Structure 1
Amino acid sequence: MNISRREFFTMAGASATGAVLLSPLQAFYAKPAIAAGPYGNLVTDPNGVLDLPFGFTYRELSKRGQTMNDGYKVPGGHDGMGAFPGSDGSTILIRNHELTPSSSNGLGAPNNKKYNSKGRGGCTKLVVSSSRTLLDHRGVLAGTIRNCAGGPTPSGSWLSCEETFETNNSKKHGYVFEVPSSATTFVTPVPLTAMGRFNHEAAAVDPNTGYIYMTEDRGNGLFYRFVPNQSSNLSAGGTLYALKITGLSGINTATSFPKNTPKAVEWVQIINPDPSTDTVRTEGYNNGAARFSGGEGIFYGSGYVYFTCKSGGSSGDGQVWRYSPANNTVELYLEPNNSGVLDNPDNLVVFPNRDIFLCEDGDGTDYILGITPSGSLYKFAKNALNTSEFAGVCFSPDGQTMFVNMQTPGITFAIWGPW
C-alpha cells in the first residue's frame, strides 16, 4: 500500500534504531526511541541506500526499467512478494506490482495474456542463484490492477491480491489471482471470485487445514477466512467468512482494545462474495463481524496467523494482531501508539522458529523491523535512499537470505549476514 497515513484517514473517514518489550505499559511504549536489537545498531551505508547491522550485506537484484529476459521492462510499484524453492539451490520470487491503468511504468505483456487490456499491474518472476545473483526475471501475470500483497501456498503458488474494487474496460477488479511459481511465461489470469471481491491486501494459508486468511485495506475492513472446496484447486470455489469476536458484535478494534488478551471468535458467512457494489464488508459487519483499521500484511508461522493493521491504535500508527487457529482466538499483540517505535506496519514474514520481520509504510523514514520470540521490537534495516516504503519481505527456503522491495524507485534487494 502506498498512501500516507493522513491520506488513509481521509479515505477511511523520524525513527530511531532497534527493542521494546511487548508490554501493556503505555509509559514504556511512549519512549521516543528503542534500543539496539539482537544484531546490534545499524551501520550507515556509504552508498546511501540501506543501513544494516554490522556484518550484513545487500545486493540490488532487479530494478525498474531494466530489460527482463522476456524483452519487457521491469515495471514499477514493487510490492508484496513470495519466495519458493528452485532448482540447484536457487530461489524463485514472485513479485507483485501495485500499478493502476494510468501508471506510466506498467507491466508489458501480449494483450491476449492480460486479464484486462488496460490493466498495468501484475506479477513478475525472479530466479536467484544460491550465490544471490539474478538468473532470470520475466512477467507471469498481467492486466490486473493494484496488485498489492498476497501470500504463498503450500502447493508452491502465489496468491496475488488486487487492492481495488473498480470496474475498468468492462472488467470487474478486486480479486485474488493464483500464479504457480513454476510458470515460465504469462499465465492465463483467472479471478478467484469465491474468495471475495473487495480491497484485498494479503493472504496466508494455514498448512494444517488449507484455510486461507485475508486482510482488507480499508479503515472499516474485515478479517476473512476462505474455506476452499478443494485445497489444491482454488478455482473449484469455497465459502468466505468474516471474523466475529464472541460477545462483541460489530466491534471496531482500532482503539481501546485490550492487548495481550486472546478473545474467542466466531465466523460469519459472506453470502454474496462477488457483489456488483462494494458490500462484502458491510454484509459481514451487519452480521456482527469485527472491524479492523487498514488490514495489511499477513503470514502464517509458529502456529499463528499474524497480521498488521496499518492505522490501528489511538495514534493511528498501527497494530500487530495474531489469530490462533488451534484455539480459535484473536489477540492484539502489539500497539505502541508511537511512530518512533512502530510507524504504519505493512507486509510481514515469520522467520521459522525465530523472529517476525515487518515493513514500515510510514510518513517519514521507513524501517524493516524485527520482533523476537521473547517479545522485543528492534530496527533491522533503514531506507537511507528516500522515504519510500519497504514491501514484500520474505526469506529464501534455506533461511540465509532476506529478500525485500523498495517500492520507489522499484528495487528488489537480497540481504544476508550472521542471522
Structure 2
Amino acid sequence: MERRTFLRGAVIGSSAAAFGGTLMHGAAYAAPAQPGAGPYGALGAADANGIMLPSGFTSRVIARSGQTVSGTSYAWHSAPDGGACFADGSGWIYVSNSEINPSGGASAVKFNSSGTVTGAYRILSGTRQNCAGGKTPWNTWLSCEEVSLGYVYETDPYGVNAAVQRPAMGRFKHEAAAADPVRQVVYLTEDETNGCFYRFIPTTWGNLSAGTLQVLQAGTATSGSFTWQNVPDPDGSPTATRSQVSGSKKFNGGEGCHYANDTVWFTTKGDNRVWQLNLTNNTYELAYDDSLVPGGAAPLTGVDNVTGSSYGDLYVAEDGGNMEICVITPDDVVAPFLRITGQSSSEITGPAFSPAGNRLYFSSQRGTSGSSSGGITYEVTGPFRT
C-alpha cells in the first residue's frame, strides 16, 4: 500500500489526516522523501517582509522582540521559539516560547475571527531557555526547557491559570512534546548528540502531575522495530535519563515532534533527518534524510521544528540552511514552501497553523540583527490545502 492510498482512505474525524508510512504488518518501508515539485508551485520574489512565497500567499509581521505588539501594550519576548495555536471562541491564540537563559518563559498573542490582534500577554516567567514544546488535547501548552536537567512546564494559553512545573515528565535537555490521545501518552525529544526519544504515560490522562517516563529501545539501524522501557529515575540525577536504560536508541540532536493518526515524527538536527514511528506496529523508519538525496541537492537542511497540516503535509523549519520552511507531502515529495531572505544569522522556529488551517505562524528567532533581541514573528495566509 502506498502512503497516498492509505492517507486518502483514512478517516480521523476532526483530526489531521496524517502523513504516514505503510502501516501494514510485514510491508516494505516507503522510501524517504525526495525533492520534487511542491503542491503550491515555485517561490516568488521576496515580498516587503523579505519572505519568498508561492503565488496566492501573503505575509505579515505579528510581533518584534522588545517592541510592543500592535494594538496592545505588551512588549514581545526575545528569541521566539516553539509555538502552537489554540481556538478561542471565534478567534484563536498563538503561543510562543522564549529561548533565553535566564528568564525564558512564553507569551501569547490573541486574534479575533478576522485575524486582528486583540491582546498579548505573558503565560510563563522565570524559566530557562524555553525552546520547543507541544499542545495538549485539553488546550494547555507544554513549554520545555532546553538545559541540562530542564523541566516541562504546563501553561495556560488563555492567561487565566498559573503555569505548573511537571517534574514527572523527566529532567533532561528537553525540546519538543507531542500528545497522542489514542495511547494517552506524550512523546518527548531530547537535544543531545546522544539523546533519546521518550514517552510519558500519565497516571490519569489529562493530568500530568504523575506517571511513568519511558525511553525508546531499538537497534542501531535506520529502520526496524522498537519497544518502550521504563526510565528508573526520571529526575536524571545522578545518572542522566539517556544513560539509564541499556539499548536505548540514541538520536543526534532531537528537535521538533508531531503526532497525527497513529504516527509520530521527530527531527534530529545533527544528521538532518526526519524520523517516523509507526505506532500501530511499533516500527520506525526515515521519513527524510538529506544524505539520501542524490547529487547533494537536498532542499531541506538544518531540520528543526515541525508541524503538520490537516491535509497531512509536514512543514519542517530550518535552523540555518537557507532559512526555509519545507513541506513534505504524503507522496514523499519534499520542496520549499517559503524562504526568509536577509536573515542568514537566524533560524526559523515555532511553525503552527491556525485552527482553520489557513494561516501559518512562525518566527525568525534572531531576525535581521542576528541577535536574540531581534526576533520577528510572522503570519502567512493563503490557500493551504486542507
TM-score relative to the length of structure 2: 0.84
Question: Which of 133, 143, 151 is matched with 2:116 structurally?
Answer: 133
Does the CA contact (< 8 Å) of 2:93 and 2:110 recur in 1? yes
The CA deviation at 1:265 is 1.0
Unpaired runs of 5+ residues, structure 1, are: 1-21, 102-119, 166-172, 252-256, 313-317
Asked if 1:274 is matched to 2:252, the reply is no
> Can you list the C-alpha shifts for 1:366-386, whole angstroms capped at 9, x where unaligned?
100001111100000001131
The residue that corresponds to 2:128 in the other structure is 145
Runs of 5+ unmatched residues, structure 2: 1-28, 367-373
Is 1:264 the counterpart of 2:225 in the alignment? yes
1: distance between equivalents of 2:123 and 2:237? 28
* Contact in 1 for aligned 2:49/2:61 (Cα 8 Å): no
Change (3 A) 1:296 1:128: same
Query: How many Å separate the matches in 1 of 2:136 and 2:278?
Result: 18
Which aligned runs of 4 or more in structure 1 are off by greater than 6 angstroms? Answer: none
Deviation per residue, 1:30-79 (Å, 9 max, x gap): xxxx4441111111124252110011001111111223588552111100
1:368/1:51 CA distance change after superposition, 3 Å: same
Q: 1:29-40 alignment to 2 at 5 Å? A: 34-40=35-41
Distance 1:136 1:385, change over 3 A: farther
Cα contact 1:132–1:414 (8 A) shared by 2: no
Shift of 1:23: 7.5
CA distance in structure 2 between the aligned counterparts of 1:396 and 1:66, rounded to whole angstroms: 23
Q: 1:188 to 1:344 in 2, by over 3 A?
A: same
Q: Which residue of 2 aligns with 1:416?
A: 381
Is contact 2:348-2:364 (8 Å) kept? yes
Is 1:347 the equivalent of 2:305? yes
Percent of aligned positions that are identical:
37
Q: Check conservation: 1:198, 1:278, Cα contact below 8 A.
A: no
Query: 1:372 aligned to 2:329?
Result: yes
SS at match of 2:165: coil
CA–CA separation in structure 2 for the residues paired with 1:232 and 1:35: 41
Report the equivalent of 2:157. Answer: 181
Letter in 1 for 2:244: E
Q: Confirm or deny: 8 A CA contact 1:70 1:139 kept in the other structure.
A: no
Q: For structure 1, which segment, 294-303 or 62-71, has the greater mean C-alpha deviation from structure 2 after superposition?
A: 62-71
Query: What's 2:354 paired with?
Result: 396
Residue 100 of structure 1 corresponds to which residue in structure 2? 101
Q: Distance in 2 between matches of 1:135 and 1:355?
A: 30
Deviates more, 1:126-135 or 1:53-62: 126-135
C-alpha distance in structure 1 between counterparts of 2:72 and 2:326, whole Å? 35
Letter in 1 for 2:111: V
Paired with 2:136 and 2:147, the residues of 1 have a C-alpha distance of 22
Contact in 1 for aligned 2:155/2:162 (Cα 8 Å)? no
- Root-mean-square deviation (CA, aligned residues, Å) is 2.1
Which residue, out of 179, 197, 216, partners 1:205?
Answer: 179
C-alpha contact 1:84 1:156 (8 A) present in aligned 2: yes
Q: Aligned to 1:197, what secondary structure does the other structure show?
A: coil
Flag the 1:44–1:278 CA change in 2: closer, same or farther, 3 A.
Answer: farther
Amino acid at match of 1:203: A
Matched length: 343
Letter in 2 for 1:296: E
Q: Is the 8 A contact 2:72 2:119 kept in 1?
A: no
Letter in 1 for 2:331: S
Aligned counterpart, 1:244: 217
Which of 339, 343, 349 aligns to 1:386? It is 343
